Structure 1
């Protein structure tokens, strides 16, 4: 299992959408420039997992190093999964069935460290 590091503060998509005029006077929601810039940076840095097109179930291991306490871990995970799909690392984020995530602080070097483990058999997480 290889670990990949993406430098920069990961952005929560939930906080970075904006309403713009659409057809027939209706509004539509688009990503703002902050999230687009993070996605571009992710794409440039993603080398280990780019274009692997993992199309079986997988586990995601993540360490998120935020620049301050105000950032949420859960919002980072959705952004990461979306970026992995954009980079072609995974075929579809619905194939993720387990996430092991940690939140850390590093004011001067925010980043994410992640690894993907393909899993071919069902693992029971909870006893019924």
Structure 2
């Protein structure tokens, strides 16, 4: 079953907070995402059922291998789109908000092609029909 954008945001939050702090608690996620603690509890329960998060005995949260894979993919997209939008002249706060939306809707194939185009130095997005 595919995860919702919201569930992907929770996985991404666990990844980011783990990188910053080493351990992650539900309250940390609530503050990071600007949601309530009960919302975090529901999300953690769902993500645990899917096998993406583990709630440790000390109350901290950890990503499973599958959760880490999904979170890493989402975070990579977020960073890529934020950087591209800022380079295009979009203010940082708007770029981050828009990147958060884009990261959930783009297919993996399209994302890979965009990365290739961005890093190849070629700025031609639509090939010309003229030969």
Under a length normalisation based on structure 2, what TM-score does the superposition of the two structures give? 0.27
More strand by share: 1
More helix by share: 2
Under a length normalisation based on structure 1, what TM-score does the superposition of the two structures give? 0.28
